[in-house]
Amino acid sequence: MCTETREIVAPKVKDILNKYAKDKGMLVAILQDIQTEFNYLPRPALEAVSQGLGVPMSQVYSVATFFKAFSLKPKGKHSVHVCMGTACHVRGASKILDKLVEKLGCCAGENTEDMKFSLDAVNCVGACALGPVVVVDGQYVGNMTTEKVKPLIEGCQ
Protein backbone atom coordinates (compact mmCIF):
# COMPACT_ATOMS: atom_id res chain seq x y z
CA MET A 1 0.00 0.00 0.00
CA CYS A 2 1.43 3.38 -0.97
CA THR A 3 2.24 6.17 1.48
CA GLU A 4 -0.79 8.21 0.36
CA THR A 5 -3.06 5.34 1.32
CA ARG A 6 -1.34 4.97 4.69
CA GLU A 7 -1.98 8.67 5.22
CA ILE A 8 -5.68 8.12 4.51
CA VAL A 9 -5.95 5.02 6.72
CA ALA A 10 -4.13 6.36 9.79
CA PRO A 11 -6.52 9.19 10.79
CA LYS A 12 -9.60 7.01 10.30
CA VAL A 13 -8.12 4.21 12.42
CA LYS A 14 -7.12 6.77 15.06
CA ASP A 15 -10.73 7.98 15.25
CA ILE A 16 -11.98 4.41 15.61
CA LEU A 17 -9.44 3.64 18.34
CA ASN A 18 -10.46 6.80 20.19
CA LYS A 19 -14.14 5.82 19.88
CA TYR A 20 -13.31 2.72 21.93
CA ALA A 21 -10.89 4.55 24.25
CA LYS A 22 -8.08 2.33 22.95
CA ASP A 23 -9.54 -0.56 24.97
CA LYS A 24 -7.73 -3.80 24.07
CA GLY A 25 -10.87 -5.74 24.97
CA MET A 26 -12.70 -4.04 22.12
CA LEU A 27 -10.40 -5.41 19.41
CA VAL A 28 -13.17 -7.24 17.55
CA ALA A 29 -15.44 -4.17 17.54
CA ILE A 30 -12.52 -2.01 16.38
CA LEU A 31 -11.82 -4.38 13.50
CA GLN A 32 -15.52 -4.44 12.61
CA ASP A 33 -15.57 -0.65 12.38
CA ILE A 34 -12.42 -0.64 10.26
CA GLN A 35 -13.90 -3.21 7.91
CA THR A 36 -17.09 -1.13 7.65
CA GLU A 37 -14.98 1.92 6.80
CA PHE A 38 -12.74 0.28 4.18
CA ASN A 39 -14.79 -2.78 3.20
CA TYR A 40 -11.84 -4.96 4.27
CA LEU A 41 -8.94 -4.83 6.75
CA PRO A 42 -5.98 -3.14 5.06
CA ARG A 43 -2.58 -4.08 6.48
CA PRO A 44 -1.71 -0.47 7.44
CA ALA A 45 -4.93 -0.38 9.49
CA LEU A 46 -3.97 -3.58 11.31
CA GLU A 47 -0.53 -2.14 12.00
CA ALA A 48 -2.09 1.07 13.34
CA VAL A 49 -4.39 -0.95 15.61
CA SER A 50 -1.45 -2.95 16.91
CA GLN A 51 0.50 0.19 17.66
CA GLY A 52 -2.49 2.13 19.01
CA LEU A 53 -3.57 -0.63 21.41
CA GLY A 54 -0.05 -1.65 22.32
CA VAL A 55 -0.65 -5.27 21.35
CA PRO A 56 1.49 -7.47 19.11
CA MET A 57 0.64 -7.48 15.41
CA SER A 58 0.35 -11.26 15.69
CA GLN A 59 -2.58 -10.85 18.11
CA VAL A 60 -4.40 -8.42 15.81
CA TYR A 61 -3.75 -10.68 12.82
CA SER A 62 -4.91 -13.73 14.76
CA VAL A 63 -8.27 -12.12 15.51
CA ALA A 64 -8.60 -10.77 11.96
CA THR A 65 -8.06 -14.23 10.46
CA PHE A 66 -10.05 -16.20 13.05
CA PHE A 67 -13.43 -14.70 12.19
CA LYS A 68 -14.77 -15.47 8.72
CA ALA A 69 -16.60 -12.13 8.70
CA PHE A 70 -13.27 -10.31 8.35
CA SER A 71 -11.48 -10.00 5.04
CA LEU A 72 -7.84 -9.13 4.43
CA LYS A 73 -8.56 -8.70 0.73
CA PRO A 74 -10.53 -5.82 -0.77
CA LYS A 75 -14.18 -6.69 -1.35
CA GLY A 76 -16.64 -5.42 -3.92
CA LYS A 77 -19.27 -2.81 -3.14
CA HIS A 78 -21.97 -5.52 -3.07
CA SER A 79 -21.49 -8.92 -1.46
CA VAL A 80 -23.25 -11.93 -3.00
CA HIS A 81 -23.25 -15.16 -1.00
CA VAL A 82 -24.67 -18.34 -2.50
CA CYS A 83 -25.68 -20.94 0.06
CA MET A 84 -24.26 -24.33 -0.88
CA GLY A 85 -25.62 -26.19 2.17
CA THR A 86 -27.34 -29.51 1.64
CA ALA A 87 -30.91 -28.15 1.39
CA CYS A 88 -29.88 -25.47 -1.10
CA HIS A 89 -27.57 -27.79 -3.01
CA VAL A 90 -30.29 -30.37 -3.69
CA ARG A 91 -32.57 -27.55 -4.88
CA GLY A 92 -30.14 -26.28 -7.51
CA ALA A 93 -27.73 -23.92 -5.77
CA SER A 94 -24.86 -24.98 -8.05
CA LYS A 95 -26.84 -23.90 -11.14
CA ILE A 96 -27.54 -20.54 -9.50
CA LEU A 97 -23.84 -20.14 -8.67
CA ASP A 98 -22.95 -21.00 -12.28
CA LYS A 99 -25.40 -18.37 -13.54
CA LEU A 100 -23.94 -15.76 -11.17
CA VAL A 101 -20.41 -16.62 -12.35
CA GLU A 102 -21.59 -16.16 -15.94
CA LYS A 103 -23.43 -12.89 -15.22
CA LEU A 104 -20.73 -11.31 -13.04
CA GLY A 105 -17.70 -12.62 -14.90
CA CYS A 106 -15.90 -13.76 -11.76
CA CYS A 107 -15.60 -17.02 -9.86
CA ALA A 108 -16.67 -17.69 -6.28
CA GLY A 109 -14.14 -16.16 -3.91
CA GLU A 110 -13.37 -13.32 -6.32
CA ASN A 111 -14.46 -9.78 -7.11
CA THR A 112 -15.68 -8.36 -10.39
CA GLU A 113 -13.07 -6.30 -12.22
CA ASP A 114 -14.94 -3.08 -11.45
CA MET A 115 -15.07 -4.04 -7.73
CA LYS A 116 -18.85 -3.73 -7.79
CA PHE A 117 -19.45 -7.32 -6.61
CA SER A 118 -17.81 -9.98 -4.47
CA LEU A 119 -19.11 -13.49 -5.08
CA ASP A 120 -18.80 -16.22 -2.47
CA ALA A 121 -20.10 -19.76 -2.09
CA VAL A 122 -20.83 -20.40 1.59
CA ASN A 123 -21.61 -23.56 3.53
CA CYS A 124 -24.95 -22.56 5.04
CA VAL A 125 -26.84 -19.37 5.75
CA GLY A 126 -29.35 -20.97 8.12
CA ALA A 127 -32.43 -20.48 5.96
CA CYS A 128 -32.89 -24.03 4.70
CA ALA A 129 -36.67 -23.78 4.31
CA LEU A 130 -36.17 -20.95 1.80
CA GLY A 131 -33.57 -22.78 -0.29
CA PRO A 132 -31.96 -22.20 -2.56
CA VAL A 133 -30.86 -18.93 -0.94
CA VAL A 134 -28.66 -16.09 -2.13
CA VAL A 135 -27.73 -13.33 0.30
CA VAL A 136 -27.02 -9.94 -1.27
CA ASP A 137 -25.69 -7.25 1.04
CA GLY A 138 -27.21 -9.06 4.01
CA GLN A 139 -30.65 -9.43 2.41
CA TYR A 140 -31.85 -13.02 2.04
CA VAL A 141 -33.43 -13.96 -1.28
CA GLY A 142 -35.16 -17.32 -0.95
CA ASN A 143 -36.52 -19.75 -3.53
CA MET A 144 -33.86 -18.43 -5.90
CA THR A 145 -33.85 -19.55 -9.52
CA THR A 146 -31.48 -18.98 -12.42
CA GLU A 147 -34.14 -16.74 -13.98
CA LYS A 148 -34.01 -14.42 -10.96
CA VAL A 149 -30.23 -13.90 -11.18
CA LYS A 150 -30.22 -11.15 -13.82
CA PRO A 151 -32.86 -8.93 -12.15
CA LEU A 152 -31.26 -9.49 -8.75
CA ILE A 153 -27.86 -8.29 -9.96
CA GLU A 154 -29.30 -5.44 -12.02
CA GLY A 155 -31.19 -4.28 -8.92
CA CYS A 156 -27.93 -3.51 -7.13
CA GLN A 157 -26.93 0.10 -7.65
Q: Which residues are annotated binding-site positions for [2Fe-2S] cluster?
A: 83, 88, 124, 128
Pick out the residues of the known binding site.
Answer: 83, 88, 124, 128
Phi/psi for 120 (5° steps) reads -135, 140
Neighbouring C-alpha atoms within 13 Å toward the C-beta of 100: 31
Closest CA to 156 of 76, 81, 78: 78
Neighbouring C-alpha atoms within 13 Å toward the C-beta of 61: 6
Q: Are strands 78-83 and 110-111 parallel, antiparallel or unpaired?
A: unpaired
